[in-house]
A = this chain, B = another copy of it.
Amino acid sequence: MRIRAATADDWPAIWPFLREIVAAGETFTWDRDATEAATRPMWMLEPPGHTVVAVDDDATVLGTAKMNPNHMGGASHIAGASFMVDPGHAGRGVGRALGEHALDWARAQGYRAMQFNAVVETNTAAVALWRSLGFEVLATLPEGFHHPQQGYVGLHIMFRRL
Contact = CB atoms under 8 A, between A and B. Distances in A.
A143 B112 contact: yes
Q: How large is the interface on A (under 10, 10 to 19, 20 to 34, 35 or more residues)?
A: 35 or more
A112 B143 CA distance: 9
Given A30-B72, A118-B75, A159 B141 contact: yes
Contacts of A78: 141, 144
Q: What 8 A-B pairs have minimum CB-CB distances, sorted nearest first? A: A139-B139, A138-B139, A29-B75, A30-B73, A29-B71, A74-B146, A29-B73, A74-B145
Interface in A102-138: 112-113, 115, 117-118, 120, 138
10 contacts: A29-B73, A31-B72, A75-B118, A75-B144, A75-B155, A77-B146, A113-B142, A138-B139, A139-B157, A142-B161
